[in-house]
Amino acid sequence: MSPNSNPALAVGLLSALLMAIALASNSAMAENPRMYPSAKHPEYPFSEAVAYNEVLYLSGEIGADKSGQLVPGGIGPETKQVMNNIKATLARHQLDMSDIIKCTVFLADIAQWPTFNRVYAGYFNKGKYPARSALAASGLALGAAVEVECLAALN
């Protein structure tokens, strides 16, 4: 007996097929997030990064050095330190700057945006920049001039 000669059988087979597709989709999407605690700041309640569904979500980075202190000199040196911190975090996850797909930039003073851009652009191949948003913030951790969070594609 073929499904064409029995509408009930055809509906049953179609339902079974749709159920199998739904189950396969749900199991593929049900990947548990992988949390990577902050090695630099284990005392703080955040992860350095979280991997989920082929994306690595990086926590915001400020221009703090290994000692946890902001580098002196303002927006230029802080931006360089931020980007080096991001680069180091990516390297710990076997990624590099070309894997970044989106950045969100928080500036304590939006007038510093051009200075930030000059430093930031040097960390990417010209014309191969991630999507980005930039906004002014009324205050950043440790009195930082800049904070950047990123999303990177896991290949």
Residue 24 is predicted with a pLDDT of 52
User: What does the pLDDT look like over 111-136, one tens digit per residue?
Assistant: 999 999 999 999 999 999 999 999 99
The overall average pLDDT reported for the chain is: 85
Residue 45 is predicted with a pLDDT of 84
Residue 9 is predicted with a pLDDT of 46
Residue 37 is predicted with a pLDDT of 77
pLDDT for 8 beyond 80: no
Helix, strand, coil percentages in the chain from 3-state DSSP, rounded to 5: 40, 25, 35
- DSSP string covering 5-26, please? G-HHHHHHHHHHHHHHHHHHHH
Residue 35 is predicted with a pLDDT of 83
User: What does the pLDDT look like over 20-58, one tens digit per residue?
Assistant: 555 454 445 557 998 887 777 777 788 889 999 999 999
**b/e string for 111-150 if b means 16 or more Cβ within 10 A?**
ebbebbeebbeebeeeeeebeeebeeeeebeeebbbbbeb
Residue 6 is predicted with a pLDDT of 54
d(CA 153, CA 53): 9
The model carries a pTM of 0.78
Q: In what order do the strands lie in the sheet with 47-52?
A: 34-37, 47-52, 55-62, 146-153, 100-107, 131-136
